């Protein structure tokens, strides 16, 4: 065959082919040298490319897209600074257990390895390693298929996480025989295989449950991620055990379920003699399963896919290591043959607490204080959302996060997307974009004014792609509050103060979105309702009393305060 008859492809085209072959529908990214043409060809091939203003938001979008769809979300970044901007999101995905792949162009290895100062030169793969579940580099087009398959399998199997995939500039433009290239492509078989727990572990867990007088189930976002929705519901209902949803597990069972103990959280944690964790870690969010919040004699059952998680913070009497679907399936079989004794008195005592706490909450929600506080503002939003139960709710901030989590009921699985395991600020717009694009539903983002600032420029992205996102900025002029004083007495604002009376709604007007300024619950209700019904990018500046927020929201206990010469209230 004459050389001119050989059809060639190159790394760039083959990379796109490999992603398509593996069912990638969307790439979230920011382009530049050396990945601009890669994004063009991806778009040409039918993959949707969503171009962001900052890689951190593109990475956050990829991460939450992975959580929503159970397929790795793809983030594309340029070398060095673009790579580093995306890395925070990759680390966050890994910490949260979301499957994601950050694909980054990288500069010339020969120059990087000798530290000779290449354009955007950085030893990216080694830098990524501690922040990712794994990091791989593709140096030759003939390795693309294997590289992509490894990245996918690593991101999805076991506890999901973030994978870094380095693609070198040289590799992108290296040619290879097109037929051989096509032949090299494949999709990994069962990248997230079922993990069946041992029969003994299932029996042990059921035995402990049978002895419980005051059992409690805690459902975490690992359970939500596993998409074993029906099994979780069936197990809770058949066992008749009250449950607490962790933040992002809200809605896996509807929050108004009679066995939901969320509004008696302190009571059930303190009283439970047996706690069954379903895809939830005993990390700081559960005070490590220790301390005064917990019954010291409680025995723990833990369902998790990651054996290393067991005993991480306290002894676990009955570990069930497997995927949630397989584990609950086997436990349900046992339950059907040997039903548990109903824990009637325990449930009655919980119901009493729930009633009392609900009455207290109702009083707060119905307060008529002006300017608005968190609760009457959230009530206005909640009333609208009761008519849109299947919408995505993105939520970040301190008070804005903690109060919204308690006030806004969720009714469908994986619809609440928030700051997650790290309590990170900056996920808001990236998560909203991915929820609209990958989740294919409207979104309401409830954002602290500080939190919003971390990704606020992405409202341009939301407008450019005409996404159905309604953003409500809880504007209290600051981080936690807007009333702090500069202790030096100078005219600089205090560390927690933001611009007094800022009009965040004006920002979205610059990009053709719809803007509202709401100063009363009625105005807020109307604005949110209109935003959702319009299906168009909308931003509501929601004016909140700057004095009502608590420092650090509900986790002020973790906030160290100087005890000497402290002039600060």
3-state SS assignment for residue 49: strand
Residue selected from 476, 529, 538, 541 as contacting Mg ion according to rule CB under 5 A: 476
Q: Quick one: which segment of 38-46, 58-66, 421-429, 504-512 binds ligand TPW (CB under 6 A)? A: 421-429
Give, in order, the Cα–Cα distances in Å from 476 to each of 69, 202, 405, 485: 35, 50, 18, 15
Return all residues near 307 (Cβ < 8 A) that are at least 6 apart.
319, 321
Do 253 and 232 form a contact (C-beta atoms < 8 A)? yes
| 73 lies in the site for ligand TPW, by CB under 6 A | no
Residue 375 burial class via C-beta count within 10 angstroms: exposed 0-12, middle 13-18, buried 19 and up: buried
Give the angle subtended at the CA of 134 by the CAs of 26 and 247, to the nearest 5°. 65
Closest CA to 93 of 123, 122, 109, 72: 72
Q: How many Å apart are CA 62 and CA 60, to the nearest integer?
A: 5
Cβ burial of 443 (10 Å; 0-12, 13-18, 19+) is: buried
**Tokens read off for 304:** 């998790």
Question: Which of 233-241, 245-253, 428-436, 521-529 is the region at the interface with ligand ADP (rule: CB under 6 A)?
Answer: 245-253
Q: Does 246 bind ligand ADP (CB under 6 A)?
A: yes
CB nearer ligand TPW, residue 136 or residue 454 = 454
Q: Which is nearer to ligand ADP, 93 or 479 (CB)?
A: 93
Helices (H) and strands (E) in the chain, counts: 22, 19
* Residues of span 328-357 touching ligand ADP by CB under 6 A: none
Contact map string, positions 184 to 223, toward Mg ion, x by CB under 5 A: ----------------------------------------
Stretch that binds Mg ion, among 23-31, 284-292, 472-480, 515-523 (CB under 5 A): 472-480
Rounded Cα distance between 498 and 490, Å, is: 16
Q: Rounded to the nearest whole angstrom, what is the least distance from the CB of residue 532 to Mg ion in the complex?
A: 23
Shortest distance in whole angstroms from residue 543 CB to ligand TPW: 13
Among 285, 340, 361, 533, binds ligand ADP (CB under 6 A): 285
User: Contact, 518 vs 543, CB < 8 A?
Assistant: yes
Binding pattern to ligand ADP, positions 363-402, x when CB under 6 A?
----------------------------------------
As beta bridge partners, residue 516 has: 540
Residue 319 buriedness (CB in 10 A; 0-12 / 13-18 / 19+):
buried
Q: Are 148 and 181 in contact (CB under 8 A)?
A: no
- Identify the three-state secondary structure at position 80: coil
**Distance in Å, CB of 480 to ligand TPW, minimum:** 4
Single out the segment in contact with ligand TPW by CB under 6 A; choices: 37-45, 67-75, 99-107, 442-450: 442-450
Q: Which does 376 bind (CB under 5 to 8 A by kind): ligand TPW, ligand ADP, Mg ion, none?
A: none
| Residues in region 386-405 near ligand TPW by CB under 6 A | 397-400
Q: Where are the alpha helices (DSSP H) in 456-551?
A: 459-464, 505-509, 521-534
Query: What is the closest distance, in whole angstroms, from the C-beta atom of residue 85 to ligand ADP in the complex?
Result: 24
- Three-state DSSP at 464 gives helix
303-311, 375-383, 436-444, 505-513 -> range binding ligand ADP (CB under 6 A): 303-311
- Contacting residue, 451, 459, 507, 528, with ligand TPW by CB under 6 A: 451
Dihedral over Cα of 467, 69, 247, 430: its sign: negative
> Binding string to Mg ion for residues 429 to 468, with x set by CB under 5 A, is what?
-------------------xxx------------------
Residue 313 binding ligand ADP, by CB under 6 A: no
Judged by phi (left if over 0) then psi (alpha if -120 to 50, else beta), residue 157 lies in beta
Q: CA 224 → CA 191, 259, 433, distances in Å?
A: 19, 17, 20
Applying CB under 6 A, among 91, 125, 217, 324 the residue interacting with ligand ADP is 324
Task: By CB under 6 A, name the one of 65, 124, 395, 476 that touches ligand TPW.
Answer: 476
Select the residue interacting with ligand ADP from 43, 45, 175, 283 (CB under 6 A): 283
Binding site for Mg ion (CB under 5 A): 448-450, 476
Binding site for ligand TPW (CB under 6 A): 397-400, 423-426, 448-451, 474, 476, 479-480, 549, 553
Binding site for ligand ADP (CB under 6 A): 96-97, 159, 220-222, 225-226, 246, 248-249, 279-281, 283, 285, 304-306, 309, 323-324, 421
């Amino acid at each position: 065959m004459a050389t001119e008859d050989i059809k060639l492809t190159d790394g760039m085209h083959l990379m796109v082919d490999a992603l398509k072959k593996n069912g990638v529908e969307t790439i979230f990214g920011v382009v530049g040298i050396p990945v601009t043409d890669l994004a063009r060809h991806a778009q040409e091939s039918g993959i949707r490319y969503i171009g962001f203003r900052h890689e951190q938001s593109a990475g956050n979008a990829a991460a939450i897209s992975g959580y929503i769809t159970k397929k790795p979300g793809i983030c594309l970044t340029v070398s060095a600074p673009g790579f580093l901007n995306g890395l925070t999101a990759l680390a966050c995905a890994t910490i949260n257990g979301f499957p994601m792949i950050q694909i980054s162009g990288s500069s010339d290895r020969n120059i990087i390895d000798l530290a000779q100062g290449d354009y955007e030169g950085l030893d990216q793969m080694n830098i990524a390693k501690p922040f990712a579940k794994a990091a791989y580099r593709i140096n030759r087009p003939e390795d693309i298929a294997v590289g992509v398959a490894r990245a996918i399998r690593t991101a999805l199997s076991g506890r999901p996480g973030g994978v870094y995939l380095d693609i070198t500039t040289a590799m992108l433009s290296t040619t290879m025989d097109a037929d051989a290239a096509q032949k090299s492509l494949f999709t990994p078989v069962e990248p997230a295989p079922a993990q069946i727990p041992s029969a003994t572990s299932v029996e042990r867990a059921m035995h402990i449950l049978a002895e419980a007088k005051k059992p409690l189930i805690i459902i975490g976002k690992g359970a939500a991620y596993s998409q074993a929705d029906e099994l979780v519901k069936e197990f809770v209902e058949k066992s008749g055990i009250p449950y607490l949803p962790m933040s992002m597990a809200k809605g896996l069972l509807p929050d108004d379920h009679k066995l939901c103990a969320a509004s008696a959280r302190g009571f059930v944690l303190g009283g439970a003699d047996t706690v069954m964790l379903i895809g939830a870690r005993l990390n700081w969010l559960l005070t490590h399963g220790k301390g005064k919040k917990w019954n010291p004699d409680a025995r723990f059952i833990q369902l998790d896919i990651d054996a290393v998680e067991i005993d991480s913070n306290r002894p676990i009497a009955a570990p069930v290591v497997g995927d949630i679907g397989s584990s609950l399936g086997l436990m349900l079989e046992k339950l059907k043959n040997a039903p548990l004794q109903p824990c009637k008195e325990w449930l009655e005592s919980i119901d009493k607490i729930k009633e009392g706490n609900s009455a207290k909450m109702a009083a707060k929600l119905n307060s008529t204080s002006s300017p608005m506080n968190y609760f009457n503002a959230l009530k206005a939003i909640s009333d609208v959302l009761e008519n849109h139960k299947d919408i995505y709710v993105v939520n970040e901030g301190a008070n804005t996060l903690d109060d919204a989590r308690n006030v806004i009921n969720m009714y469908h699985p994986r619809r609440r997307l928030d700051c997650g395991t790290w309590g990170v600020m900056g996920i808001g717009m990236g998560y909203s974009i991915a929820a609209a694009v990958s989740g294919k539903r409207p979104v309401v983002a409830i954002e602290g004014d500080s939190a919003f600032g971390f990704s606020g420029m992405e409202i341009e992205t939301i407008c450019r792609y005409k996404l159905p996102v309604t953003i409500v900025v809880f504007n209290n002029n600051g981080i936690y509050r807007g009333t702090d004083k500069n202790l030096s007495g100078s005219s600089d604002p205090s560390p927690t103060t933001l611009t007094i009376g800022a009009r965040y709604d004006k920002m979205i007007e610059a990009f053709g979105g719809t803007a509202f300024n709401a100063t009363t619950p009625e105005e807020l209700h109307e604005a949110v309702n209109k935003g959702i019904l319009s299906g168009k990018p909308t931003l509501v500046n929601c004016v909140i009393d700057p004095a009502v927020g608590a420092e650090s929201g509900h986790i002020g206990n973790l906030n160290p305060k100087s005890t000497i010469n402290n002039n600060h209230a």
